[in-house]
Structure 1
Amino acid sequence: MTTHTALIVDDEPDIRELLEITLTRMGIATRTAPDVTTAKALLTEAAPQLCLTDMNLPDGNGIELVTWMQQYCPNTPVAVVTAYGNMDTAIEALKAGAFDFVSKPVELPRLRELVNSALKLSEPRPPEAPEKDEPGLLLGQSPEIKRLRTQVRKLARSQAPVFISGESGSGKELVARMIHLQGPRNDAPFVAVNCGAIPSELMESEFFGHKKGSFTGATDNKDGLFRSANGGTLFLDEVADLPLAMQVKLLRAIQEKAVRPVGESKEFPVDIRVLSATHKNLPDLVQEGLFRQDLFYRINVIELSVPPLRARPGDIPLLARHILGRIAREYECEPAELTPGAIERLKHYDFPGNVRELENILERAFTLCDADRIDADDLHLGAAAALSSAPQLSGPDMPAIELPEGGMDLENYLETIERQAIEKALEATRWNKTAAAKRLGISFRALRYKLKKLGME
C-alpha cells in the first residue's frame, strides 16, 4: 500500500510537532523544513503528495513558496497556514495557486478535511473519456473553448472561490459543474441555486436552514443550502441579485465556514467550496453601492470568463449534432441532420441567448420539420422570420379567448389548449397517431414530441 508523504514548512518547532502528530495519526509520512530554502531542497529531491506551509518564514514567506511550487512541483497541492482573521493574506495565497488555507490556531477537524481533500488530488485519475454525451461536457475545438477547458482542469485542483462571468445562456452552471466533477469533491453534493429566484423574506432560511417552530410555517427542521452542500460545492448563480442585507450574512458564512439556522442559538460548521456567477457587471454594481465590495473580493478570488457562442462559430456544428442526438434519444425518435445551408445560417446568427438559445432553436426545428433533415428555413431565425411564420391572430377561425381577471399562467393555459386539441384529434382518428398528426397539421415526430412533453403517452 502506497504511503502518502507530506512536507510541513514552519519555523516554530511546536507547530511542526502538532502538524506532524496529526498527519502521522492519519497514516501520512511527514518531512519538515524550518524555512523556504530547506523546503525547496526537499521538494527538489522528491515531490510529496501535500505541502503545508506557514506564511511567515525566516528567509521568505509562504506565498513565495507557493509560486515556486506552481513552476517546479505543479502536481503537489500546497496549503497555507495563515494568521487568524487575515483573509487578505489567505486570498493572496489562493490567487498565487495555493490549494487551500487554514487559520491559526489550527483546528484539527478543519485540518483533517483539508488534508483528505488534498490527498484525493494525488490519486490516479482515469484517462479522460472521449467526447460523448455527458451532462458536464464543454464541447468544441475552438481556441476559446480549449482554453476554458484547460482553466477548468486547473481550477478543479484548487479550493479557491471562483467567479464565473458570461452572458445568459453561455453555460456558466455547466462550467461550475465541471470544476466540481474534476476536483476532489466530486463524490459530494453539487448544489446550484439561482439567487434571483428566492423571495427575500425566505433567503436566510433557504441558505442557512431553520429550526422547527422558529417562525410561522416552520413545521420541521431544515438544513438549508449550505449544509446540504457540506463536503461539496455550492454554486450561487445570479449572485448579483442578492439583497444587501443577505450579502452581509453570506460573507460571514463564507469567511467563518459556519452557519446559524434561523431560530438556533449555535453555529454549525460547513466545509464547502463556493462558486458563483452572474451575467451582470459586478464591478459596476460595487461602484453603484448595490453589491458589497468585501463580498465581491471574497467570491472573486479567481475570475473565469465563459465565451459567448458567437465568438466560437466553428463549434456550432459539433454542438448542434450533440444537442440533436440528445433530443432524439430523449423522445425516442430517429436523429435529424442539419443541411449545409442550415449550418451556415447558424454560424452567421448572433445568438443573443447563446447555447441555451441554440438548444431551443434545434428542439423547435426537430419537432416541426417533416423529414429527417433540418434546412435553413426550418430554423426560423431572427425576428422577421418569427413574425412571418407566426399564425395570424385574427380571422374567422380564431377562437375567442377570455382573459381572467388579474394575472394568469400563460404557459399552463397554452399547454391546456394544446392538450385538449391533441386529445380531440386522437379521439377523432381512433387513436391513430399518424392520422391525428395529419389532422393537427404537424409531423408525426412533432406529435410524439408533444405527447412526451405533455405527459400524454
Structure 2
Amino acid sequence: MNPQKPILIIDDEPDIRELLELTLMRMGYHTHSADSLASAFRLLDSQHFALCLTDMKLPDGSGLDIIRNLQERPEETPVAVITAFGSVDLATESLKAGAFDFISKPIDLDRLRNLVRNAVSLDDKPAADSVGDDTRQLIGETDNMVALRRQIAKLSRSQAPVYISGESGSGKEVVARLIHASGPRADAPFVPVNCGAIPSELMESEFFGHVKGSFTGAHNDKAGLFESADGGTLFLDEIADLPLNMQVKLLRAIQNKSVRPVGANREIPVDVRLLSATHKDLATQVEKGHFRTDLFYRINVIEVKVPSLRERVEDIPLLANAILNRLSAEWGMKTPQLDASAQTALSSYPFPGNVRELENILERAVTLCDDDTITAGDLQLPDTGTTPSTNPAKGIEAAFGDLEGYLQDIERAAIEAALAKSHGNKTEAAELLGLSFRQFRYRAKKILED
C-alpha cells in the first residue's frame, strides 16, 4: 500500500531530481523536491514525509546534516543517501549517523525501487518485542537487555550492516532474527550460515552458487546462499572462521552487490541485508592478520554487543521459567518448578555456555526430577572448581614421564564434555571450545580414535 505521506527528494542537480520524481510517480508516490538544505528544512518543518532521499553533497551543506536533523525530530522519517560511485567511506559514515540505506550514482532504478518500498513499509512492521515466538525472544529486564532491545528496534529501521558480538550461546542469532523480523525485509528470507561448518573446498559454491558442469559433481545449476537470501537477510555466523581467500571474495560481493556463480561468465545482482557475528574478538583477529581490515570495516558499520548471562544474573529466573514452560508445552507435561536450592545453584553458576547451556541444563533436569520439582542435584551443574591442572582423574604428577599422554587426556575430557553439553551437536561443541568446526572435527577424530 502506498503511503499517504509524500517522499522528499533533495538534490541540487535538476536532472537527478527529475529522474527520481518520474520514477517515484510511476510507482504511485507523491513527491516534493528541494535543491538545498535550507529549502529542505523549510519543507520538513511544514509537513511529515514517508521517506527522505538526499544527495550527500549539497550547495549549503551535506546529507549528513539532514540525517542528524531528522534524528532529533519526534517523527521517525527514514533517510536514504545518494553518493558518488565508489564513495564507500561517505556511505558508511551516513549509515553510522542513522541513514536507512544509501544508493550510488549512476542510480540503478531497480535498486532504487526496492529501497523505496522497504523504507516506506517500515511503519507496517512489528516492534522488536512483538515478533513471533519462533525467534526465542530476548527475555530479560536488566538494564543491558532493555538497552539491547531498544538498539534492535532502532537498527531494524536501517539497512546498515551489523556486527553482533558476544560469547557462544549468548543469543547472537536471536538478535539477528529479531533485527530481520522487525524490519522491512521481514517477509523475505532470513538465511543463517555457520561459516565454520562449510568445508573450504565447497565454500565458494555454497556462497555464490555454481553452474552445471563447472566442476566434478556439479550435475545441475545451484543457487548460492546470497541468491537464497535475495531481498532478505543473510546472517554470517562465526564469520571469523572464513579463510582469507574467501574473505576477499565476500568483500567483492558486498561492495558490488552482486555474485558470480562458479563457472558462470556473468555476475548476478543480489539485494541482501548483511548481519554477521562471532564469539571471537574480531579486532584482535584483524591485528593478528587472520581477518582482513577492509572486510572488518565493511561488516562492522554498527556493532551490537550481546551480554553474557554472567552480566545479567537477575534474568536467570525469568529465562529458566520461560524455558521450562516451553519444554513442558513441547513435551505435553506439567511445568516443573525450581526449588530454592536449584534457584541458588543457577544464580551462583558462571554459565560459560550462556543461555544455550542453561537450556541444556534444564532440559536434562526435567527428565531427572521427581514430583515436578527440580532440585540442585537434578541440575548436575559442573564443578567450576575443577580445572585441567587439577584433573580429578590424574594429578599433575601424571604428566611426569608422559606429558603428551597427559595433555591428550585433558583434551579428550574437554571434547567429551563439550559434546555432552551440546547433546552431540558438533557445531555447538566447537563453539563451546572456541574452535572452528573444521578444527574441532580434526581434533575430535584424532583424540577420540586414539
TM-score, length of structure 1 as denominator length: 0.82
Greater shift in the superposed pair: 243-252 or 40-49: 40-49
SS at match of 1:383: coil
User: Aligned partners of 2:349, 2:262: CA distance in 1, in Å?
Assistant: 49
With normalisation by structure 2, the TM-score equals 0.84
Classify the secondary structure of the residue corresponding to 1:307: coil
8 Å contact 1:131–1:139 — kept in the other structure? Answer: no
CA contact (8 A) 1:192 1:235 kept: yes
- Give the Cα separation in 1 of the matches to 2:234 and 2:128: 25
Partner of 2:300: 300
Contact 1:136 1:175 in 2 (8 A): no
1:189 maps onto 2:189 in alignment: yes
Report 1:157-176 matches (<5 A).
157-176=157-176
Instruction: Please state how far the C-alpha of 1:4 moved relative to its aligned partner.
Output: 4.0
Alpha-carbon offset, residue 326 of structure 1? 1.1
Tell me whether 1:97 sits opposite 2:101 in the alignment. no
Aligned-partner SS, 1:192: strand
User: 1:306 Cα shift?
Assistant: 0.2
Distance 1:410 1:238 in 2: 22
Letter in 1 for 2:187: D
The reply on whether 1:52 has 2:53 as its aligned counterpart is: yes
Change beyond 3 A, Cα 1:132–1:234: closer
AA of the residue aligned to 2:69? W
Unaligned runs of 5+ in 1: 393-408, 415-457
- Closer, same or farther: CA 74–287 of 1 in aligned 2, 3 Å: farther
Q: Secondary structure at the match of 1:3?
A: coil
Deviation at 1:133, TM superposition (A): 4.6
1:263 matched residue in structure 2: 263
CA distance in 2, matches of 1:131, 1:38: 39
CA distance in 2, matches of 1:110, 1:147: 33
Contact 2:135–2:178 (CA<8 Å) still a contact in 1? no
- Which string of whole-angstrom CA distances, capped at 9 and with x for unpartnered residues, describes residues 392-438 of structure 1? 9xxxxxxxxxxxxxxxx999x99xxxxxxxxxxxxxxxxxxxxxxxx
Asked if the contact 1:166–1:308 (Cα under 8 Å) also holds between the matched residues in 2, the reply is yes
Give distance in 2, aligned partners of 1:235 and 1:126: 20
Q: Which amino acid aligns with 2:23?
A: T
Indicate conservation of the 8 Å contact 2:127/2:153, yes or no: no
Question: What secondary structure is seen at the aligned counterpart in 2 of 1:312?
Answer: helix
Inter-CA distance 131–22: structure 2 relative to 1 (3 Å threshold): closer
Over 3 Å counting, the alpha-carbon distance change for 1:362 and 1:131 in structure 2 is: farther
Change (3 A) 1:65 1:357: same
2:252 corresponds to which residue?
252
C-alpha offsets along residues 170-227 of structure 1, whole Å, 9 cap, x if unaligned?
0000000000000000000000000000011100000000001100011111101000
Contact conserved, 1:341 with 1:376, CA < 8 A, in 2?
Answer: yes
State yes or no: 1:156 paired with 2:156: yes
Shift of 1:134: 4.4
Q: 1:191 to 1:50 in 2, by over 3 A?
A: same
Structure 1's 286 and 91: CA in aligned 2 closer, same or farther, altered over 3 A? same
Output the CA distance in 1 between the equivalents of 2:319 and 2:345: 14
How many angstroms apart in 2 are the aligned matches of 1:68 and 1:129?
27
In the aligned structure 2, how far is the partner of 1:303 from the partner of 1:384? 31
Tell me the CA shift for residue 347 of structure 1.
1.0
User: Whole-Å Cα distance in 2 between the matches of residues 260 and 113 of structure 1?
Assistant: 21
Aligned partner of 2:359 in structure 1 is 359
Q: Is the 8 A contact 1:171 1:355 kept in 2?
A: yes
Alpha carbon RMSD of aligned pairs, Å?
A: 2.2
8 Å Cα contact 1:210-1:222 kept in structure 2: yes
Change (3 A) 1:13 1:250: same
Instruction: Please say if residues 195 and 236 of structure 2, whose CA atoms lie closer than 8 Å, have aligned partners that are also in contact.
Output: yes
Whole-angstrom distance in 1 between the partners of 2:176 and 2:235: 7
Query: In the TM superposition, what are the counterparts of 1:293-442 in structure 2 within 5 Å?
Result: 293-383=293-383
Distance in 2, matches of 1:322 and 1:239, equals 30
**1:29 paired residue number:** 30
**Matched positions, count:** 392
Distance 1:243 1:155, change over 3 A: same
- For the 8 Å contact 2:128–2:181, the answer to whether it is kept is no
Runs of 4+ in structure 1 off by over 2 angstroms are 1-4, 125-136, 382-387
8 Å CA contact retained: 1:380, 1:386: no
Q: Deviations over 1:300-351 (max 9, x none)?
A: 0000000000111111111001111111122222211111221121111101
Any unmatched runs of 5+ in structure 2? 388-392, 394-414, 421-450
Distance 1:134 1:209, change over 3 A: closer
Which protein is bigger by CA-based radius of gyration? Answer: 1
Could you say if the C-alpha distance between residues 199 and 74 of structure 1 is closer, same or farther in structure 2, counting changes exceeding 3 Å?
Answer: farther
CA contact 2:11–2:55 (8 Å) conserved in 1: yes
Matched residue type, 1:18? L
Q: Quote the offset at 1:286 in angstroms.
A: 0.8
- % identical equivalent positions: 59
Counterpart residue number, 1:70: 71
Partner of 1:84 in structure 2? 85
Partner of 2:209: 209
The residue matched to 1:101 in structure 2 has which SS?
strand
